[in-house]
Structure 1
């Protein structure tokens, strides 16, 4: 056991103890506690020692750490961002007056895209039109104060929709207010506004948040300065849709009398090279994002050793990984049905390609000093990182480049030919779409395409840091039960490799799925070479270390184990149901009552990608008639393609019978599949119950509000 000492000031000790001793000696209690035996002496000594410890706490020991608050500060604030961005008032109308703003740009964002668009738009309003714009997190202001915004100002709403047509977490206040002004018929006659919605048309409630907000504002008398528009991420068009909407907005501003200026590049962050790193820093320090914040929904990021991995596909050229991560002695906990957010790093090939294209390979180990130059800028890379660490761990260097970025890159082109090419693509949406549909254009590949021989030495590093998106986590449904495996998290990942139709027949490698494949040390089944990644090695495990955090989910089993379940999944959508069924089987084995379960599972073939088949067969044996499995195979021999939604139609009477008896229904997989299942179920309800469209919607909405119909879907 290690020894330790307290640095105590003797004079301070005396000044603290003397009053205590005088008080005790003058008190009648002192005579009472005089020891009459050895045992009494020990008791008296312990009493005095406890009193001494109580009185001196905070003075001589356990002193408050004056730097304690630093542990809770956002890293970007320590890097120079101003804390004054926090609103002094929650009344947005008052804030507009105090700051002499002409416009407020509200953002409601779940993944950060709407927030990024709002910050970009705010900067461009100022640099291009001289408009002072307040970029506002909706949660920083009382939504009721929007009604007080004067007519000389106007508001812009950038609103994302996710899940079952839900608003982002930070837009909850706006959502409640919108419902109230609709119910109470409140008037907002002075409000002038513009709106853009962010969503995915594969989802049933595509851009519902935008539609509800616009309908309520218009009904309340607000004036829409131009028709609301929708950005669609179904085909990855969000960036382009935002750019088109912004072009229309700038045309509106010109029509309102604002003069548009042509401005040269003005950095919002300063990026300077420091000294070469004396030694390689701990990779875990590099990996942690400055943008991730621990909240009630999200844990902190932890390095988790890979304890075991196995391949789930039995044939074909694809991989599907089952991976188990050890939580060890970390503070990380999870509950069955939660999500794990995996933080990947960029592959070696892309990091090296970008360094070479920028002409900075020799400076890859040099440290960077990064500081914000204005209040709206949030550094994406922690100051003190090496250039290589910034490109590997903090920036999305494998993502496609937007048309706006293509156009802006032209000013730094090393040759006249490169400048002409990028200018043409940046100004012509059709030309841009032709290029991106046939070629995977990352920043490095675009720079190489435009200038294959000359490096881009004139391209400011600040432009690269500002333009590239921050590296984001990818979420996977946890496929283990916290009841059975509380200190290990299992995840199920399909490794994605998509071929594009360019002359080189190149491949777009799924970043995180290939990162996980690399960490698993399993061989790739792909016909093409897969990327290589750097990993921190784990102790005693089979693979590397994966950086991850846990996100709470509402996709949970009912509290009562006797509640019947309808489970509908395709492919890796089965992941959370593996945990659900394992937990129910455990309870059944212990003699607890469990409800009837009907599982629909779809995949391509029973021979190649029927994941967890052996486990399901054992669960079937354990649960007996409590579990029924209905399969759908879309590429089984020469038979007609059958999808999981087709099986749901065939069994619709059974499903409705179970729902009417109080069952919970869960859908997990691609959004397009979930939308098909919803449609088929609504048709079955209308037919069986004789309901019209409105009655069917009320019936399904009622089940969803009561948590009896849940979906966990993606793209």
Structure 2
């Protein structure tokens, strides 16, 4: 509709209204009537002209959602993107597709490494595919000679990663639809943590469905276990099996040599960059579950432990006028920076201390490579804000590093560690093998001047946020979030001062300006501040399913140990607020465990005030593991109250468990034992009963490894 057509339509509408009996009977007789009529006509005109005269759609709107690497690639003009994976494989002349389902980025990284090595070692054109980019149903079309590889992570209560939801839904339908997959050949690796009850459940469900539908597993599915820190080693062992399979299928293996996927060089920096946006990781993607990253001002901090050599920090962050919104039970992702000591150590061992302020220029040479450092960063800012320089170096990386060794002895040391799994494990158990410490160990005197910066950026992980359960209620404090952080300092060798110092927890401690209670020296960090905001932390909010029921009268069972109490502080604060304004409150029982009531009973005074406010609606059951001769854990107290808990669950209560995965697994076992004893059910019946509660959202867990 053009402007002339709109004018004609409006004129006809006005004439029709004028001639109608209703219009005549409503003829304006006062100034107020005329104003109302004018407003009505203006509103009508505005509605009819929207999208034609005003609020026109941006013709380039779709470009906002395009991936730059696809828009800028030379092949983007030749290849029409499709969501049919089989068509994509044929169009791209690929021989294998490597799917990844990743929540934290590990499975994605493994898929990229495998794809790159398939190309460099065997000359195989391998496609690395994000599961969310393709319709899962089209996997059924993959047939010989092609085959598919799946690297799938499991997190939470046996849940798939966000990008694997489409695959998960299709897998559930395979059996119902009697889908046949006789032509599909596949390999699979699962990433999980055996501390969790549903260890590698996603892999098991997918593999069972494939096998039942007639697909062929070229080698048995393997599982990587993060509980014992074996994820990298398990991946390497599985990758060796994959390469053995490729050799058996006639592919000739070439000698592995380093081929850079990035071109990285340093140039003198003519201007010092002060743009704070460079401190924000480009690996973070705003989504329906994650907000934008913002610098959040620190309102206040306080120490929660009253004694001992550990710190537990309560910190409050202002949301200010940004667009971050949170709900009670959500998580906050804190983006740390690396400590000064590790940055200085790495610059020194690379022989680059004098070039710390030089600018990094990075060009992508391989379509599969993803930049981890934004443009315009100096070498120092890249090491401080964008790369995981404090992470453990994998055995595979150590072996690859040996080719750049400055001396024959350094090469021999790294080759021996890289080839001997037991020696590597022994070294890892006695020292924290960061990249800088490893290079320093192998060559204490000669710097690693021949080690390419491209190798460092490719092999170090992008710096990631650490997530904390928000310990404030969005109803009580909608524009301020609080976090409860235990500062981690794990001694790994009692005979030496070697320790693993939690990166983000020590970063939070440093930002709080509270005194460390640790006996070992604490790392020092560079903090951001502004004249208007003061000291800040970069953070974003991630949505969670760990939510209170809609009705405040629903009974609650809350089980926590240590800082697992954080979300329950928010839950109880919200219930107390509702109680004070006259809302009906359901019965609540809180199980809380810690070491000692006199040292680490966090929020003890607050809990006392909540108890006074809520009265009989709240019952607190404590467990202290180091307060008496016999250790009492929170799961022991849950077992004691088995009858009460089952009665509450049967009457509609919601149960929440928060803390370490090992604790949550023990609690699950105690409740299942109570179900067997009281209800007289067999294990199969117990599983049905538990699964029903979880399916209806009546049993939720928020746990970590």
The two structures have a TM-score, normalised by structure 2, of: 0.92
- The residue matched to 2:397 in structure 1 has which SS? helix
Cα distance in structure 2, aligned partners of 1:173 and 1:50:
43
The residue number in structure 1 matching 2:595 is 604
Question: What CA RMSD, in Å, does the superposition of the two structures yield over aligned residues?
Answer: 3.1
Residue by residue, what CA displacement relative to the aligned partner does 1:301-338 show, whole Å, maximum 9, x if unpaired?
11100011100000011100000000000000000000
Task: Report the Cα offset of residue 639 of structure 1.
Answer: 2.4
The residue number in structure 2 matching 1:435 is 427
The residue number in structure 1 matching 2:333 is 341
Given that 1:105 and 1:156 are in contact with CA atoms closer than 8 Å, whether structure 2 keeps it comes out as: yes
The residue number in structure 1 matching 2:612 is 621
Cα distance in structure 1, aligned partners of 2:93 and 2:47:
54
1:450 to 442, 448, 456: 442
The residue number in structure 2 matching 1:259 is 252
Task: Report the Cα offset of residue 77 of structure 1.
Answer: 6.8
Task: Report the Cα offset of residue 85 of structure 1.
Answer: 12
The residue number in structure 2 matching 1:221 is 214
Of 92-101 and 609-618, deviating more is: 92-101
Q: Does 1:92 align with 2:85?
A: yes
The residue number in structure 2 matching 1:370 is 362
Task: Report the Cα offset of residue 370 of structure 1.
Answer: 1.4
The residue number in structure 1 matching 2:324 is 332
Task: Report the Cα offset of residue 81 of structure 1.
Answer: 9.9
The residue number in structure 1 matching 2:673 is 683
Q: 1:320 to 1:384 in 2, by over 3 A?
A: same
Given that 1:439 and 1:502 are in contact with CA atoms closer than 8 Å, whether structure 2 keeps it comes out as: no
The residue number in structure 1 matching 2:243 is 250
1:648 to 638, 651, 658: 638
Q: Does 1:477 align with 2:466?
A: no
1:160 to 153, 156, 167: 153
Given that 1:371 and 1:383 are in contact with CA atoms closer than 8 Å, whether structure 2 keeps it comes out as: no
Cα distance in structure 1, aligned partners of 2:655 and 2:44:
60
Residue by residue, what CA displacement relative to the aligned partner does 1:76-114 show, whole Å, maximum 9, x if unpaired?
679979868997222222222221111111111111111
Cα distance in structure 2, aligned partners of 1:512 and 1:79:
36
Q: 1:392 to 1:266 in 2, by over 3 A?
A: same
Given that 2:470 and 2:567 are in contact with CA atoms closer than 8 Å, whether structure 1 keeps it comes out as: yes
2:171 to 178, 184, 189: 178
The residue number in structure 2 matching 1:515 is 507
The residue number in structure 2 matching 1:12 is none
- The residue matched to 2:228 in structure 1 has which SS? coil
Task: Report the Cα offset of residue 58 of structure 1.
Answer: 9.0
Cα distance in structure 2, aligned partners of 1:393 and 1:85:
37
Q: 1:60 to 1:690 in 2, by over 3 A?
A: closer
1:307 to 278, 299, 305: 299
2:546 to 535, 541, 555: 555
The residue number in structure 1 matching 2:577 is 586
Q: 1:355 to 1:592 in 2, by over 3 A?
A: same
Task: Report the Cα offset of residue 502 of structure 1.
Answer: 7.5
- The residue matched to 2:484 in structure 1 has which SS? strand
Cα distance in structure 2, aligned partners of 1:656 and 1:45:
65
1:461 to 449, 453, 458: 453
Task: Report the Cα offset of residue 170 of structure 1.
Answer: 1.4
Cα distance in structure 2, aligned partners of 1:84 and 1:701:
49
2:650 to 660, 668, 674: 660
The residue number in structure 2 matching 1:532 is 524
Task: Report the Cα offset of residue 186 of structure 1.
Answer: 2.5
Cα distance in structure 2, aligned partners of 1:668 and 1:691:
27
Residue by residue, what CA displacement relative to the aligned partner does 1:580-624 show, whole Å, maximum 9, x if unpaired?
001111111111100000000000000000000000000000011
The residue number in structure 2 matching 1:10 is none
Task: Report the Cα offset of residue 67 of structure 1.
Answer: 7.2
Task: Report the Cα offset of residue 61 of structure 1.
Answer: 8.8
Q: How many residues align?
A: 693
Cα distance in structure 2, aligned partners of 1:207 and 1:164:
10
- The residue matched to 2:268 in structure 1 has which SS? strand
The residue number in structure 2 matching 1:145 is 138
2:129 to 120, 136, 161: 136
1:279 to 266, 272, 276: 272
Cα distance in structure 2, aligned partners of 1:581 and 1:355:
48
Cα distance in structure 2, aligned partners of 1:403 and 1:498:
22
Given that 1:406 and 1:423 are in contact with CA atoms closer than 8 Å, whether structure 2 keeps it comes out as: yes
Residue by residue, what CA displacement relative to the aligned partner does 1:442-495 show, whole Å, maximum 9, x if unpaired?
001101000110111100000000000001111100000000100000110000
Task: Report the Cα offset of residue 255 of structure 1.
Answer: 1.5
Cα distance in structure 2, aligned partners of 1:681 and 1:364:
57
1:389 to 381, 394, 398: 381
Of 416-425 and 358-367, deviating more is: 358-367
Residue by residue, what CA displacement relative to the aligned partner does 1:19-64 show, whole Å, maximum 9, x if unpaired?
99999999998xx9xxxx9999999999999999999999999887
Q: Does 1:544 align with 2:535?
A: yes
- The residue matched to 1:276 in structure 2 has which SS? coil
Q: 1:189 to 1:75 in 2, by over 3 A?
A: closer
- The residue matched to 1:678 in structure 2 has which SS? helix
1:707 to 687, 697, 703: 697
The two structures have a TM-score, normalised by structure 1, of: 0.91
The residue number in structure 2 matching 1:7 is none
Task: Report the Cα offset of residue 280 of structure 1.
Answer: 3.4
Point out where structure 1 has 5 or more consecutive residues left out of the alignment.
Answer: 1-15
Q: 1:259 to 1:27 in 2, by over 3 A?
A: closer
- The residue matched to 1:544 in structure 2 has which SS? strand
Q: 1:656 to 1:454 in 2, by over 3 A?
A: same
Given that 2:635 and 2:670 are in contact with CA atoms closer than 8 Å, whether structure 1 keeps it comes out as: yes
